[in-house]
Structure 1
Amino acid sequence: MKNGFLGALRPALWLIGLLLVGGLGIHFFTDNPLSWPAYLSMMVFYSLIFGIGAYATQLRKDNDTDSFLLAGRQLPLFLAIFTMSATWVGGGYINGTAEYTYSSGLVWVQAPWGYALSLIIGGLFFARKMRRKGYRTMLDPLEEKFGKRVSALFFLPALSGEIFWTAAILTALGTTFGAIAGLDTETAIVLSAVITIAYTALGGLWAVALTDFIQLILLFVGLTLTLPFALDAVGGWPAAWDQYQQQFGAAASFLPSKEALGNYYWNWWDYALLLSLGGIPWQVYFQRVLASRDEKTAVRLSVIAGFVCLLAAVPAVVIGIAGQVADWSSLGAPAPPDAASILPWVIRYLTPAWAGIIGLGAVAAAVMSSADSSILSASSMSGWNVYRPLFKPNVDTKSLRKLVQRMIWIIGIAAMLIALNIQSVYELWFLCSDFVYCLLFPALVCALFDPKANATGAVAGFMVAAVLRFGGGDVTLGIPILLPYPMIEDGVNLFPFRTLAMVSGLMTIIVVSRIRSLLR
């Protein structure tokens, strides 16, 4: 690593060799022969990203915690905007948007504008205060307000959210890689996860930020390049849009209506609030806010990144529409096996081979840019907010950095194992914000804005929100409906119980905290 970027390329060249040997083994000893042009292009892409991540280790001026976790709080505005946007615009974001555009209509494509709005709200109301205080993680204000043990309690929904998020985006890459390169999904997930974990553990936030810069550019270029070919295959945009509107009717609109949603109307609003507010209490967001050079940079990067996220969703929406109206049999291609596969299916069968390879690189870039961020964020909280205060308060910064590096491997592998056992990208993606919205958002709001909030109120609010949330059941996790909520149809809870849980938790913290203060 002493020879600059050329020195950092040495492990990347070794990686190319290992991937080439692995590819030959897969080609000759499995029933799924590789598409070598696609596989070789991914090999070069992965190795380049790994080399950049390895090079980032030289940008850390020190080996202390701030340098590893927060890039020494020296992220410039342009780089901060790229890494913030790339973090949200991940594989779940791209694949999930295309999936629901294809299967459910634009009215249910809520995540792009919901998460964009969460970035803007976070920038206007949360970023300035967090950066001014000089916190290291999102859980620091909770530890400061409620104590280290209560902060560790709120680490649980934060950790689960980050792990589920990482699993969702690894799954997105697995389906895309498998569809285009001929590699089976499980192998693609394992390969992508190991490379992402490795360079994240090497370079910390500098590695994540630098690779995000490259990955976001590749994402925009790659997906935009596929659009003309996909639309040409279905008769152009006007014809595709007309067919799509005929297919979905009122649901072919982003705006909610009783006609489009029926009994799901209040359920739609429940998810809308979940995404808009549940997208705020994330370490992966606040890590970039806290790494900014100053308060103004923290606010600006949040707001600008919100608009970048909206732009990034446009190609995915168009791809979902093209996939829905395509006559696959007349195109001589098999129909998509499921909605989650629509984006790679369009890239593979509605675009030339060379454009499909670039599109695959775009999706891979999106996945890796989010996976590395989430893994680093969860590891940061586990080291700084759990291990340090509860087990070794006097730990030195170098030892803490090494612990965080170990946690990167542990958490990354856990997310990989979950990714190997899930189906829908979009369902798991929603679930990520679900936990933090119901359990973590009320506590963060009170820690920052309620001077009378205390630990007793925080624990009470957590318990109330948890009972109301999990009492409503969850199909993805296999949890049955336990509470007698109204509006339950065919085993599906249409009542906005998530928002009820969040508001109830928030009010419980406020009320119980004041009662506790009066009883002292």
Structure 2
Amino acid sequence: MTVNVPGIIGIVIFYLLVLAVGIWAGRKSIKSTNTDELFLANRNLGMILSSLTIAATGIGAAYINGTAEEMAREGFLWVQAPFGYMTGIAIAAIVYARKLRRMGYVTIFDPIQEKVGSRMGGLLFFPELLGELFWEAAILVALGTSLSVILDMDSTIAIIISACVAVVYTFFGGLYSVAYTDVIQLGCIVLGLVLSIPFAWANDAVDVSRIRDDWVGHIPANKVGVYIDTYCMLIGGGIPWQSYYQRALACQTPSIAMWSSLIGVVITVLMAIPPTIVGVIGASTDWNATSYDGEIPIPPEKLVFILPMVLQYLCPLAVSVIGIGAVSAAGMSSTDSIILATGSVFSKNIYKNIFRPQATEREIIWVLRISILVCGIIGTVIAITVNSVYGLFTLCADLMYVILFPQLTCVLWVNFANTYGSLSGFLLGLSLRVLGGEKLLKLPPVIKFPFFDEQLGQLFPFKSFAMICSYIGIIGVSFVTDRMFRNGYVPQKYDIFGCIERSKTKKRNTPNDTKTEDNEKTMPLDVYNDADH
């Protein structure tokens, strides 16, 4: 194996640049005893910075590599993730983020714990935790495989180094470091991918006419239900990610939170175009005419390498090195977001709200930093040791859609939602999803929904069905138990979760969230947490 020395030098320079920018941006936070500074950058993100960091968070290595892979394998119609997830973020920006920012919350689990209790909120943290960890692992795997192809270096070393760089500047600088390094990383992504396309397209081995009739893709009639179910999962599952809300809630005002999110969505969708084109190039290349010496035609399971292969075998060395920076930037721009989001929720909503309500600000900061370190280590270990990361990540994305999406929605807009309904919806949605089986994890289906096929599995949109049942469980059980206790059919002493008392306390202490943008400045700072500057 011949090590790509220029590529190694380029990646070292890039990592040192990102590390320097991260430490510089977070220099004020290193000795800070203010949790708001580390969690939310003192809610001081303006329109430009917040738009760019939201975009960079979405554009991960899995986003870029996965888009190119699906385009090469199935065609454009099956490139669902960029458009589905970004539609979910757009809905979150308009419907959810503005309200959460106006209410001055720090994480999405604040309103959940306020409504259904700290312990139930802690239980609902696990789908988010698993989703974030396996998203991190999937990104690191995509990054490691890309660097191993382009640089001829061991993928494990690439994964460890990339994770260490992201953990170091996030550990010290919090959201300030993450936001500013995101800007650098986003610029590298744009430069690397856009620059590589003309060189790859002009390569003599590329002939787009080879896939003239195949690039659009095809949806078989028996997979229409699966196709729709996947889009719904991506849209609904894209709404409750703490990694996104960490940025939206750090904006100066609710309006900036909404508009910067929408701008970030546009940037992210536009950035799906370069990897889509790379997928077209990879599928239309005569690999026999290149220096590639692997199996031809490329097996479907090897198409995950299509983007680094295009950079390595179809571009000049200098362009390939710049492309390395794009892939690395995409990996770290999402990895740092994930570990910060997970650490923030654990330190505030689990450690402080459940185990140590009396914890000081300094103590919470150190719990946050330790959580960042632990999350980085766990995600790295998973990326190195587990072969079914993509399957686990998909399952966790399902759980975000089936469980957390209904819970967050009901907490914010169903006044009578309570712990009984929340627990019922959690158990119902989880049971239906798990009993439906998961082919990627070799989990056999116990419930065979309509149109089930022994070879293809579930063809019925059962994930959406499980999500709807979760909604029904939350709303139905909450309504019945609320009426039972409030109307005296059951004495309140049997309200073991204290839902009635909690709702009274919330009504006394929670500000009216229907205030207009114009009079937000008149609200107390302890309510809106520095909402306007």
TM-score (norm 2): 0.87
1:289 to 2:256 alignment: no
1:156 to 2:126 alignment: yes
Partner of 1:400: 364
3-state SS of paired residue (1:492): coil
Partner of 2:212: 245
Q: CA deviation at 1:422?
A: 4.3
Describe how 1:69-88 pairs up with structure 2 within 5 A.
Answer: 69-88=39-58
1:126 to 2:126 alignment: no
Cα deviation code 1:198-224 (max 9, x no counterpart): 111111001100100000011001100
Whether the aligned pair in 1 keeps the contact of 2:205 and 2:285 (CA below 8 Å) is: no
TM-score (norm 1): 0.89
> Which of 383, 395, 399 is residue 419 of structure 1 equivalent to?
383
Q: CA deviation at 1:475?
A: 2.8
Whether the aligned pair in 1 keeps the contact of 2:137 and 2:380 (CA below 8 Å) is: yes
Stretches of structure 2 lacking an aligned partner (at least 5 in a row): 486-533
2:23 maps to a residue whose letter is A
CA–CA distance in structure 2, aligned partners of residues 425 and 316 of structure 1 = 21
Q: Percent identity?
A: 38
Whether the aligned pair in 2 keeps the contact of 1:148 and 1:389 (CA below 8 Å) is: yes
Partner of 2:524: none
Cα deviation code 1:293-341 (max 9, x no counterpart): 0011000011111111111110000001100110000234235560110
1:502 to 2:461 alignment: no
1:308 maps to a residue whose letter is I
Q: CA deviation at 1:494?
A: 2.2
Describe how 1:118-267 pairs up with structure 2 within 5 A.
Answer: 118-233=88-203, 240=208, 242-247=209-214, 252=216, 260-267=219-226
Whether the aligned pair in 2 keeps the contact of 1:164 and 1:431 (CA below 8 Å) is: no
Whether the aligned pair in 1 keeps the contact of 2:205 and 2:289 (CA below 8 Å) is: no
Partner of 2:441: 477
Partner of 1:47: 16
Q: CA deviation at 1:46?
A: 0.8
Q: CA deviation at 1:106?
A: 1.3
3-state SS of paired residue (1:329): helix
Cα deviation code 1:114-141 (max 9, x no counterpart): 1121121111111110001100111111
CA–CA distance in structure 1, aligned partners of residues 266 and 389 of structure 2 = 23
2:272 maps to a residue whose letter is A
1:347 to 2:311 alignment: yes
CA–CA distance in structure 1, aligned partners of residues 186 and 380 of structure 2 = 22
CA–CA distance in structure 1, aligned partners of residues 87 and 253 of structure 2 = 22
Describe how 1:100-111 pairs up with structure 2 within 5 A.
Answer: 100-111=70-81
3-state SS of paired residue (2:426): helix
CA–CA distance in structure 2, aligned partners of residues 398 and 57 of structure 1 = 17
3-state SS of paired residue (2:212): helix
Q: CA deviation at 1:444?
A: 0.1
Q: CA deviation at 1:423?
A: 4.7
3-state SS of paired residue (1:247): coil
> Which of 269, 273, 282 is residue 314 of structure 1 equivalent to?
273
CA–CA distance in structure 1, aligned partners of residues 162 and 450 of structure 2 = 43
1:91 to 2:46 alignment: no
Relative to structure 1, the CA distance from residue 479 to residue 495 in structure 2 (aligned partners, 3 Å threshold; closer, same or farther) is: same
Point out the structure with the larger helix share: 1
3-state SS of paired residue (1:260): coil
Whether the aligned pair in 2 keeps the contact of 1:96 and 1:425 (CA below 8 Å) is: no
Whether the aligned pair in 2 keeps the contact of 1:173 and 1:363 (CA below 8 Å) is: yes
Describe how 1:266-281 pairs up with structure 2 within 5 A.
Answer: 266-281=225-240
Cα deviation code 1:462-489 (max 9, x no counterpart): 0000001111112333322121223333
Partner of 2:27: 58
Partner of 2:412: 448
Partner of 2:352: 388
Whether the aligned pair in 1 keeps the contact of 2:170 and 2:178 (CA below 8 Å) is: yes
2:83 maps to a residue whose letter is W
3-state SS of paired residue (2:153): coil
Cα deviation code 1:136-164 (max 9, x no counterpart): 11111101110101100100001011101
Stretches of structure 1 lacking an aligned partner (at least 5 in a row): 1-31, 254-258
Cα deviation code 1:234-266 (max 9, x no counterpart): 677xx51x4323235xxx15xxxxx63331111
Relative to structure 1, the CA distance from residue 417 to residue 488 in structure 2 (aligned partners, 3 Å threshold; closer, same or farther) is: farther
How well do the aligned residues superpose, as a CA RMSD in angstroms? 1.6
Relative to structure 1, the CA distance from residue 265 to residue 171 in structure 2 (aligned partners, 3 Å threshold; closer, same or farther) is: same
CA–CA distance in structure 2, aligned partners of residues 306 and 375 of structure 1 = 21
CA–CA distance in structure 1, aligned partners of residues 179 and 286 of structure 2 = 41
CA–CA distance in structure 2, aligned partners of residues 211 and 290 of structure 1 = 19
1:512 to 2:477 alignment: yes
